[in-house]
Structure 1
Amino acid sequence: MLEKSSPLWWLFAAVSVYLYLAAMFPGMINRRQMAWVSCGPVVGFLAIVAYSANYDWPLNELLPVYCGVILGIALGVVGHSKAMRTFMTWRAENPGKPDDEGPGVPWMLQIAFTLPVFLGGALWYVNAY
């Protein structure tokens, strides 16, 4: 089993971000949406940097959690790019309306299952090893 302090986690984090962007970009219809989605990995990384600094936990040991969250979201939208494009088109045409008035978002149910599984697995790994 790979140690949580292994430098390979940086490579896994980069691959996770690539997979996240590859899964999310096909569902976006304009550059503004793509830029917004691109902020997700950056915000997540800033969150683990802040956690690392605040709790004096090595950043390298938190990378499995970062990978778990990013991959959980990415796998949560796999197979739903057409539905995402439909929703994002509606959202661009109706900027002031609440999301629940638009077309259904089937990927949310998939994210609701994949994200806790990946995050739970990552937290278990970080605490067990």
Structure 2
Amino acid sequence: MPEKSSPLWWLFAAISVAVYLAAMFPGTVNRRQKIWVSCGPVAGFLALTAFSATNDSSLNEMLPVYCGMILGLALGVVGHWKALRAFMTWRAENPGKPDDEGPGIPWMLQLAFTLPIFLGGAIWYVNNH
């Protein structure tokens, strides 16, 4: 694993975003959902930039946390594209209804495990290296 200040983390961040988009796009059913899913990495990067600026941290040294977050989200849906697509189809047809009224979302359980593991590991790495 490279040092947290290594410029390789920019490459890892770009690869993480590509993996995220490749994992999430099969579950979307229309253009609006694709745009919404595409905003996730941008919003995460803006939040990381704001955090770095307010805490006098180097943005480069915080990139492992960004990669952990993006990969945790991406791997939370791997293998559940059919269920995700069914949920997104229901979501497109019922825009005003709460999500818990829709079809079951088995990928949420997987997401509940992958995101904390990847994000927690990244935070541990940043704090200890």
Scaled to the shorter chain, the TM-score interval is over 0.9
Aligned to 1:124: 124
Aligned to 2:75: 75
Whole-Å separation in 2 of the counterparts to 1:111 and 1:19: 15
Return 5+ residue gaps in structure 2 as ranges: none
Whole-Å separation in 2 of the counterparts to 1:97 and 1:110: 23
TM-score, length-scaled by structure 1: 0.98
Q: What letter is aligned with 2:51?
A: Y
Aligned pairs for 1:32-111 within 5 A:
32-111=32-111
Whole-Å separation in 2 of the counterparts to 1:96 and 1:128: 45
Q: Which whole-Å deviations, capped at 9, do the CAs of 1:67-98 have from their partners, x for residues lacking one?
A: 00000000000001110110111111111111
Whole-Å separation in 1 of the counterparts to 2:110 and 2:29: 21
- SS of 1:48's equivalent in the other structure is helix
- Seq. identity, %: 78
Q: What letter is aligned with 2:2?
A: L
TM-score, length-scaled by structure 2: 0.98
Return 5+ residue gaps in structure 1 as ranges: none
- SS of 1:95's equivalent in the other structure is coil
